[in-house]
Structure 1
Amino acid sequence: MFELSDTQIGGWVGQFMLPLFRVAALLMSMPVIGTQVVPVRIRLYLSLAITLVLVPALPAMPQVDALSLQTLVLIAQEVLIGVMLGFALQLFFQLFVLAGQLLATQMGLGFASMMDPVNGVSVPVLGQFFNVLVVLLFLTMNGHLVVLDTLAESFTSLPVGEALSSEHYWAVATRLGWVLGAGLLLVLPAITALLVINLAFGLMTRAAPQLNIFSIGLPLTLVLGMVIVWVGLADIFAQYQVFVTDALQWLRELIRAP
């Protein structure tokens, strides 16, 4: 009769299940793969496949009791690490959405909104355009492969069973300001150009008060804003490279934090 001891079950749980929770937490929370567009079942299958590939190359896992409280604590730690990495990637994608929303508000296009199928909220069309653009660039430049490589490296630099320190939480908290600053920096030239246009309309109103500036100001601001966006897209790839390099480098530093 085939029998399994508690030690064998605990070894299997520690060797496969604990890494699975970290991988699954990342895939459930990261952009592109962890969105509502990808079914949960597909994400679960991907988590199982990635874990099966990673397990032979991972360092030795702790021996745990499958039904003990310590195992539940380790599972919670692994889920927290995966969610932390996914949230860090979400910050990078949201800076482009924020840039689109700021630009849409400045050019008077903030009222044109659509339902975001990924997040389930209403966002300006321009913000959704930047979101789709950065997703395509991220997949084209194999950013998802870099994320998986960082995930595999995290099992060595941040082994299973090692609790997160306060430096990890502080690193994530300080990055929230980076999103706002990077979003402003991304659209600063366009916002400056639109500000000059609005100042010109203000001077026209002072010079000719009888001119109905609102009837021509809004359409002209929209047209000129779209022209500015079209001109700015010529340099979007270079700006994307700077931000994605910074975000992925920060992701590697995050898993190496003391």
Structure 2
Amino acid sequence: MIELSTEAISGWISHLMWPLFRIASLLMVMPIIGTQLVPMRVRLLLAISITALVAPLLPAMPEVDVLSARSWVITAQQVLIGSLMGFVLQLFFHTFALAGQMIAMQMGLGFASLNDPANGVNVAAVGQLYLMLVTLLFLAMNGHLVVIQVVVDSFTTLPVGQFFPIDSLYEITLWFSWVFGSALLIAIPAMSALLIVNLTFGVMTKSAPQLNVFALGFPMTLVFGLFILWVAVSGFLAQYSQMAESALFVLRNLVGVQ
């Protein structure tokens, strides 16, 4: 009869439990997989499957009793690590949504909001379009596989039992400024073109006061805005590649993966 000691059972559980918490936290927070479109059971099953596949490749776990207070601290650390990694990806996606909302406000579509099924909030139509484009590009360029590779490598660079250094947490804070700057960088060509259109209508109204600028300006601004969006789509891939490279750099630097 096979007899198993408490230490052996605790070691087996810890070797699967702590990686599961980090991977599951990432999948619960990251875009696409962590949205309301994917049922909770599917996300949990995916996290368990990934953990079972990568567990033999992970380094040794701390020899800590799974029922001790130290085990609870390590579990909380893994949840925070996975959640912060997913949060960085969320900020990357919402950069494009913010840029779309800026363009929508300038072209007069700020009132045209759609229900975002992924996050359960109302988003401007242009922002929803940009979110759909980013999602398709992210999946087409295997961004989800890159994220899984980063979280697996993080168990080597940031072993279980360790937490983020202060510099990494400070970098996440600076990441907010990058989000707003990048969103403005994406939206500023369309906003500048629409500003010229509005200035043109202002000059026309000054020279010919009998023109109804509200009846004429809004549909023309809307048509020009749609044309500008159509032209801007041609350069969307280059903007996405640059932003994705920066986001991946921050994600890797957060957990020390080179």
Residues 102-132 of structure 1: CA deviation (Å, up to 9, x unaligned)? 0000000011111111111111111111101
Give the corresponding residue for 2:6: 6
Structure 1 unaligned spans of 5+? none
Please state whether the residue corresponding to 1:64 is helix, strand or coil: coil
Residues 164-212 of structure 1: CA deviation (Å, up to 9, x unaligned)? 2222211111100100000000111110000001111111111111211
CA distance in 1 between partners of 2:117 and 2:99 (Å):
19
CA distance in 1 between partners of 2:52 and 2:223 (Å):
53
Give the corresponding residue for 1:171: 171
Please state whether the residue corresponding to 1:209 is helix, strand or coil: coil
Conserved? CA contact 1:88–1:172, under 8 Å: yes
CA distance in 1 between partners of 2:193 and 2:242 (Å):
23
Please state whether the residue corresponding to 2:182 is helix, strand or coil: helix
CA RMSD of aligned residues (A): 1.1
Q: TM-score, normalised by structure 1?
A: 0.97
2:47 paired with 1:47: yes
Flag as ranges the 4+ runs of structure 1 deviating above 3 A: 1-4
Give the corresponding residue for 1:69: 69
Give the corresponding residue for 2:117: 117
- 1:84-99 matched pairs, under 5 angstroms: 84-99=84-99
Deviation at 1:3, TM superposition (A): 4.2
Deviation at 1:60, TM superposition (A): 0.9
Give the corresponding residue for 1:37: 37
CA distance in 2 between partners of 1:35 and 1:212 (Å):
45
One-letter amino acid of the structure 2 residue matched with residue 183 of structure 1: A
2:224 paired with 1:219: no
Please state whether the residue corresponding to 1:33 is helix, strand or coil: coil
2:189 paired with 1:189: yes
Residues 224-253 of structure 1: CA deviation (Å, up to 9, x unaligned)? 000000001011111111111111121111
CA distance in 2 between partners of 1:30 and 1:3 (Å):
42
CA distance in 2 between partners of 1:167 and 1:37 (Å):
34
CA distance in 2 between partners of 1:253 and 1:165 (Å):
11
Deviation at 1:32, TM superposition (A): 0.6
Conserved? CA contact 2:81–2:163, under 8 Å: no
Q: TM-score, normalised by structure 2?
A: 0.97
One-letter amino acid of the structure 1 residue matched with residue 61 of structure 2: M
Deviation at 1:63, TM superposition (A): 1.1
Deviation at 1:88, TM superposition (A): 0.4
Give the corresponding residue for 1:135: 135
Please state whether the residue corresponding to 2:150 is helix, strand or coil: helix
Conserved? CA contact 1:6–1:65, under 8 Å: no
Please state whether the residue corresponding to 2:33 is helix, strand or coil: helix
CA distance in 1 between partners of 2:43 and 2:235 (Å):
34
Conserved? CA contact 1:150–1:252, under 8 Å: yes
Identical amino acids, percent of aligned pairs: 53
Q: After the TM superposition, which of the residue ranges 5-14 and 190-199 deviates more from structure 2?
A: 5-14
